[in-house]
């Protein structure tokens, strides 16, 4: 946990007015395979490029059984995406990630679970502003939160610990504070 806070602390000095930053919003097209299964997994993501090497992302994932009154898991968090040497390849690590379980069959109140995941992928930017990010998402890569993930796997008919994601979306430039002063 200390390492995560240290990484976040190290990112704070980066200047957000550097001129290369942008905001991206995307949806996971692999969510379409939920039409064929009893468990729907839908993922949206918003990200902010801080520097050419680092960006912060905030995904929102809904995992839900498709029958009425089924279990739902709403996941969100703050992720650090590292693009080594400003390449298009990236490594994404969760700095903090939580899930809210609703309609739990054995609990009356919603439960909060702390989670962890990482992703390895590649980012394609198609002019003018389309973004495509294929990646492999690995849940609990260091096997620290086994109880939480075992509970999630027991509640859903399909809860993959490793899955392919294909995020497709748009990027928007962030106006620089330097531009407004001119």
Q: Residue 177 — very low, low, confident or very high, per pLDDT cuts 50/70/90?
A: low
What tens digit of pLDDT does each residue of 20-36 get?
Answer: 468 999 999 998 988 88
User: Euclidean distance between the first and final Cα of the chain, in Å?
Assistant: 42
* Range in 4-13, 16-25, 85-94, 144-153 the model is least confident about: 4-13
Q: Does 10 score more than 70 pLDDT?
A: no
Q: Are 28 and 57 in contact (CB under 8 A)?
A: no
Q: What is the model's pTM?
A: 0.81
> Which two structure tokens, joined as six digits, stand for 156?
């859903």
Q: What percent of the chain has pLDDT over 90?
A: 65
Q: What percent of the chain has pLDDT over 70?
A: 85
Q: Does 182 score more than 80 pLDDT?
A: no
Nearest by Cα to 23 from 182, 177, 175, 181: 175
Distance CA(79)–CA(11), nearest Å, equals: 12
Q: How many CA atoms lie within 13 A of 108 on its CB side?
A: 0
The pLDDT, as a whole number, for residue 106 is: 80
The pLDDT, as a whole number, for residue 169 is: 97
Class of domain 24-173: mainly beta
- Classify residue 86 by burial, with Cβ atoms within 10 Å: 0-12, 13-18, 19+: exposed
What is the arithmetic mean of pLDDT over 63-70?
Answer: 86
Average pLDDT in the chain: 86
What are the residue ranges spanned by the domains of the chain? 24-173
DSSP assignment of 97-152 equals: EEEEEES-SS-SS-EEEE--EEEEEE-EEETTTEEEEEEEEEESTTS--HHHHHHH
Nearest by Cα to 101 from 62, 46, 138, 141: 62
């Amino acid at each position: 946990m200390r390492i995560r806070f240290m990484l976040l602390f190290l990112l704070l000095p980066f200047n957000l007015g550097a001129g290369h930053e942008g905001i991206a919003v995307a949806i996971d097209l692999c969510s379409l395979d939920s039409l064929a299964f009893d468990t729907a997994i839908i993922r949206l993501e918003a990200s902010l490029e801080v520097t050419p090497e680092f960006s912060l992302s905030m995904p929102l994932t809904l995992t839900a059984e498709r029958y009425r009154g089924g279990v739902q898991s709403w996941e969100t968090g703050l992720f650090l995406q590292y693009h080594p040497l400003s390449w298009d390849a990236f490594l994404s690590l969760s700095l903090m990630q939580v899930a809210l379980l609703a309609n739990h069959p054995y609990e009356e109140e919603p439960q909060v679970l702390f989670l962890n995941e990482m992703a390895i992928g590649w980012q394609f930017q198609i002019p003018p502003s389309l973004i495509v990010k294929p990646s492999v998402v690995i849940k609990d890569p260091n096997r620290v939160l086994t109880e939480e993930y075992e509970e999630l796997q027991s509640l859903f008919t399909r809860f993959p610990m490793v899955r392919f994601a294909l995020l497709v979306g748009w990027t928007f430039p962030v106006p620089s504070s330097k531009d407004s002063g001119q």
